[in-house]
Chain A
Amino acid sequence: MASLPTRSPWPAFRALAQCFIPETARATDSQWRALESAVATALAVRPAWLRRQILLFVRLIDLTARARHRTGFARLDAARGTALLEGLAASRVLLFRRGVWGLRTLVMMGWYTDPAVIAALGYRASAAGWKARR
């Protein structure tokens, strides 16, 4: 199972994920591992420049949190973390908007492909198709 790097800034990843998808606050350890593995695997096959951009953007988020709240993003409560991300998502600067969009998309990919999560949503598509429903 692939894993995210443990060095800075990735410790902020779970805090970011909880702002994007509040239910992840209730994720089990194995769900976190699966989510992080999916993100790490997706990043591994992306071009190096894109990986660098994402890493830099996570650092930028952390620096913004330190400048505004005198603490790293991982230590912000959900309301302040979400407000910070919403501010970046509404920025005039395309790079910031794209950065938030890219990060949220990665987190959503890890979460909304988890079989337990999609079953809980009520999504039931299967190869059996209509036969399974009638």
Chain B
Amino acid sequence: MEGTAVSSIRCDVAIVGSGAGGGTVAAALAPLVAVGKRVLVLERGPRFLEADFTGRELDMAPALYADEGGFLTADGTMTLAFARAYGGSTVVYTGTSLIAPRRVIEQWAVPGLEYADLERRSRKYMEENGVHLLAPELVNENNQLFAAGAAAAGFHAEQFPLNLRGCRGSSLCNLGCPNAAKQGTNRVQLPRAERMGVEVVTRALVTRLGERRLHVTVSARPAGGKGADPEWEPGEYEIEAETIVLAGGVLGTTPLLLGSGLPGLPRRIGAGFTCHPAHILVAEQPRAITNDVGHPKSFFVDRAAAEGYVLETCMYFPFITAKNLTGFGAGHSTFMQAFPRLQMILVLACDKAVPDNRITMDRKGRPVVHYRFTDQVIESMVRATRASARIFFAAGALRVHAPSADPPLLEAAEAGRIDQRIDARHFRTGTISISAAHLMGGCAMGRDAASSVTDNRGLVHGRSWLRVADASLFPDSLEINPYLTIMALADRVAEGVLQDMAR
């Protein structure tokens, strides 16, 4: 930055990112401020104002999501969705709050990471975030049909615990709740941390990680842009910190470490990327249903252990729906015209960490996600699609749109031929819209620097001042919605920082 004035800042703890991980660490370390320590949170995205949440897809997607939610993997066959905002992706999730499955944590086999400890911490955040089951009268017909269809087709549907306070049922969770109901870190942990003296700086992009140092660029609010002005003057900052906690999400933390040039970092950085590849299945019911009002994601079917997939209710906006229907032209338009009668299910495959799937950097220093759909993932998605078709038809659907069928429309009369019609040979990348919002791995916890990046409290092997506190820590996929587990792990990371300081 030749010729540009750089302001120097010193602090005790610098936290990069303010989502489920960073927000949790900020709140847990906030008591340090009372004993004279300076704690900073550096968030790349803006601090949105209540009036900013318009619920309009065209406004909100570019404002909230990186690449408008369409960040592409290296071969262009999957899009990754992650938010940049005060509160990170907790601003755009649906608030589903599940404790990590015991079997997954045991399979991770991270020395010193016990299931009971994660469960205890998860319950703490469930209580803090007001997690509860939605009252029956607030469950819309899209969800009711899923529960009824699942029961009729022999699946066990469970209700999602949700972290809502005063939900009015806008159905707009993924565009940022317009009613401030969803209890993300932007509503709970960050405001509390700020009241206790933690400084949160938004529009602050960390461009370089050095030895106990961060280089940060604070940008002005663009003309006409959403969100508040940054808390600091726009410009360049060099921040010196006793402890640095990286919590910028999988595509924030891993690239920062890969691009740091710090000597002797573990070689596994970037490895083990997983993401629960997902696509939306749509069916047409014979009558209009309540699908664009009420919480969109109230039920799920967990077949992760037995068949490698999870089904969740969902209801997306017209463009996302259109994008997820395969093909184009008259048939596609006809299905879209049936919007008030559409029922939807989100299919998630429980992928496994494999050597091919990893994060690297390109020559310009941008993250590149390499992702290959393994046979196991394709089989899981096909099984999930068959299960969804059975649920749709059991719930009375006239026809089901299944991307891994050719042709993709199954009429009710074909309900007995689901296994033949939906088949892995029709799963063709580049024609099916596959997206992922559960980005995991890249800085896996583990025993040592040869096999992992951090220890069980996010401490980077070989660096006593550097920790990771986000989903990058997962050694493999979680097989369920991850935010509560991120918070539980971040709580452990914060505890590690406090123990360091007490020494």
Contact = CB atoms under 8 A, between A and B. Distances in A.
A121 interface: yes
Interface in B376-431: 428-431
A126 B171 CA distance: 8
Interface string A75-112: 00000001001100110001001100110110011011
Contact of B171 (A19, A21, A97, A125): A125
Nearest to B76: A98
A113 B72 CA distance: 21
B438 to A, nearest CB: 21
Given A101-B430, A123-B339, A127-B172, A45 B62 contact: yes
Contact of B179 (A118, A123, A129): A129
Contact of A112 (B75, B168, B292, B336): B336
B463 interface: no
A129 B430 CA distance: 36
Contacts of B330: 22
B339 A45 contact: no
A20 B170 CA distance: 30
Contacts of B431: 89-90, 97, 101
Interface size class of A (residues with CB under 8 A): 35 or more
Interface in B293-343: 293-294, 317-319, 321-323, 327-330, 332-333, 336-337, 339-340
A1 interface: no
A123 B292 contact: yes
B221 interface: no
B428 A105 contact: no
A22 B275 CA distance: 35
A125 B329 contact: no
Interface string B91-116: 00000000000000000000000000
A122 to B, nearest CB: 4
Contacts of A125: 55, 170-172, 292-293, 317
A122 B323 CA distance: 18
Contacts of A128: 168, 170
Nearest to B319: A112
A58 interface: no
A37 B499 CA distance: 54
Contacts of A52: none
Contacts of B159: none
Main secondary structure of the interface of B (DSSP, over half): loop
B58 A127 contact: no
B68 interface: yes
Interface residues of B, number: 49
Nearest to A109: B319
Contacts of B144: none
Given A97-B431, A98-B76, A112-B322, A130 B293 contact: yes
A22 B334 CA distance: 10
A123 B67 contact: no
B260 interface: no
Given A45-B67, A121-B339, A127 B179 contact: yes
Interface string B115-148: 0000000000000000000000010000000000
B55 to A, nearest CB: 6
A68 interface: no
Interface string B8-21: 00000000000000
A38 B58 contact: yes
B275 to A, nearest CB: 19
A89 B58 CA distance: 26
Contacts of B503: none
Contacts of A22: 329-330, 333
B333 A127 contact: no
A117 B329 CA distance: 16
A92 to B, nearest CB: 10
Nearest to B140: A130
A112 B430 CA distance: 21
Contacts of A132: 293
Nearest to A108: B322
A56 interface: no
A21 B333 contact: yes
A121 B75 contact: no
Contacts of B178: 127
A115 B170 CA distance: 17
A130 B319 contact: no
9 contacts: A20-B328, A45-B62, A101-B433, A111-B322, A112-B318, A117-B318, A118-B318, A129-B171, A129-B293
Interface of B: 53, 55-58, 62, 67-68, 70, 72, 75-77, 138, 167-172, 178-179, 288, 290, 292-294, 317-319, 321-323, 327-330, 332-333, 336-337, 339-340, 366, 428-431, 433
**In the complex, the 8 A-B pairs of residues with the closest C-beta atoms, listed nearest first:** A97-B430, A129-B169, A129-B168, A127-B178, A113-B58, A112-B319, A122-B340, A112-B318
